[in-house]
Amino acid sequence: MAPYALRWGIIATGKISGQFARDLLVDPSSREVSDVSHKITAVGSRSVESAQRFIDDLKNPGEGESFSWGVKNGGLDQVKAHGSYEGVYNDANVDAIYVGTPHNLHYKNTKDALLAGKHVLCEKPFTIDIEELEDLVSIAKEKNLFLMEAVWTRFHPIAYAVEEVLKSGKLGKPKRFAADFSMDYDLDSKPDSNRFVDPALGGGSLLDMGPYPSVWAMLLVHRNPHNKDQNPKVVNSYQSIYKRSGVDLNSRWIVEWNDVCHGQLTTDLSAPGLRENTAALQCEQGDLVVEYPPQRPETFHIIPRPDRYLGSIKEKTTHHHPIHKGNHGMSYEADEVARCIRDGKIQSDRMPWEESKVVQRWFDSVRKNGNSATKDMKGSAGQ
């Protein structure tokens, strides 16, 4: 049987959209996939010329580029350049829309695509606030359309491997958790229009970087077999402010899962993260530590507790689960979208709406209890 081919429309032509598009064109067999495939049939930008440049760049891969496979095998044969996002929404040759626009536009772009009858994969953070997200979910249900937040890390090989360790029970019950995404971004060298600097774009560390410590909180604690609390809440938070524009330079928040553990999550634009510890789950019998970077790690360690408190884990073991060669890592989430749409699902079991809502509520709490320029930012749901 031929693989199910999903026809994608891409809106916005920035760096992240380019990376997603290239991953769509990589040979699925390179990641051991044979049941689904992808085509890009429309690209939307603010002008036809910009959309066409994006397409031309894809059609002219450099020597040895893995996405040349898709170019040679029809992945761009039907692609059309549109001078507006609406052109992509209304393109009859498009099944699903990838939303790669700035944070503050996610709600409008996703809503417009859903109302046009398209399935949607929206970049993170899903929305500015929980009201926007709940509205999008309501529309997806009403229209019977697939909708998912593009938390690509959940679909990487390491995420499945970690899940198997937790299911085995050998680590025992969680005791505490910490995760961090930090980078020395040098905001002073960036223009006022930079997406991290400009509060109107949802700037600062929280919304842009927060999904990554959050994904490990969800994978290691929330989805842990020991957890029954499906609505963990932020019990404390703190933000440092970047004075020039008022956005958060760093954010720290503590989440409580009732009867399981607390977790400390951190985002920071002023310092690099720890290479060998981007996320750590400490349990009764030993610890699971994920290496940097949080968005695309390939290695984790299972580590014994200190001698004085030694549990059943006696020796450190290292587990390496790399992204398949030639893939940047966004191809896996695209495969999930294709399978769900093929099977008539409107949400992913691995990235369900309720778990996106949990994380969105964390962001709302941290932002509203802080003192950044985005503190009172409201979404446009209901307007």
pLDDT score for 191? 97
Residues 212 and 296 in one domain: yes
What's the CATH number where 212 sits?
3.30.360.10
What's the mean pLDDT in 87-95? Answer: 98
Q: How many residues does the chain have?
A: 383
Confirm whether 381 is domain-assigned.
Answer: no
Work out the mean pLDDT of the chain and round it to a whole number. Answer: 97
What's the CATH number where 17 sits?
3.40.50.720
pLDDT score for 307? 86
Annotate 14-40 with b (16+ C-beta within 10 A) or e (fewer): eeebbbbbbbbbbbbeebebeebbbbb
Confirm whether 376 is domain-assigned.
Answer: no
Confirm whether 110 is domain-assigned.
Answer: yes
Q: Which of 334, 366, 381 is nearest to 156 (CA)?
A: 334
Confirm whether 245 is domain-assigned.
Answer: yes
Q: Categorize the per-residue pLDDT at 291 as very low, low, confident or very high, splitting at 50, 70 and 90.
A: very high
Residues 94 and 218 in one domain: no
Task: Return the percent helix, strand and coil in the chain, to nearest 5.
Answer: 35, 20, 45
Pick left, alpha or beta for residue 36 (phi over 0 → left; psi -120 to 50 → alpha; otherwise beta): beta
Residues 196 and 245 in one domain: yes
Residues 253 and 120 in one domain: no
Residues 34 and 101 in one domain: yes
pLDDT digits (tens, 9 = 90+) for 334-381: 999 999 999 999 999 999 999 999 999 999 999 999 999 999 999 888
pLDDT score for 310? 87
- Kind and range of the H or E run holding 41: strand 36-44
Residue 181 forms beta bridges with which residues? 267
Among residues of the chain, what percentage have pLDDT more than 90? 95
Residues 97 and 197 in one domain: no
pTM equals 0.96
Residues 239 and 120 in one domain: no
Residues with Cβ within 8 Å of residue 240, at least 6 apart in sequence: 248, 249, 250, 251, 270
Task: At 140, list the tokens.
Answer: 């997806």
Task: At 170, list the tokens.
Answer: 């050998």
Confirm whether 21 is domain-assigned.
Answer: yes
Residues 18 and 75 in one domain: yes
Residue 219: φ, ψ to 5°: -75, -40
The residue segments making up the domain with residue 144 are 4-151+328-347
What separation in angstroms does the CA of 70 have from each of 11, 60, 64, 111? 19, 11, 13, 30
Residues 258 and 173 in one domain: yes
pLDDT digits (tens, 9 = 90+) for 97-130: 999 999 999 999 999 999 999 999 999 999 999 9
pLDDT digits (tens, 9 = 90+) for 299-343: 999 999 998 888 999 999 999 999 999 999 999 999 999 999 999
Residues 15 and 110 in one domain: yes
Q: For 49-146, where are the E strands, in sequence order?
A: 80-82, 96-99, 119-122
Residues 102 and 13 in one domain: yes
How many domains does one find in the chain?
Answer: 2
Confirm whether 378 is domain-assigned.
Answer: no
Residues 341 and 363 in one domain: no
Confirm whether 41 is domain-assigned.
Answer: yes
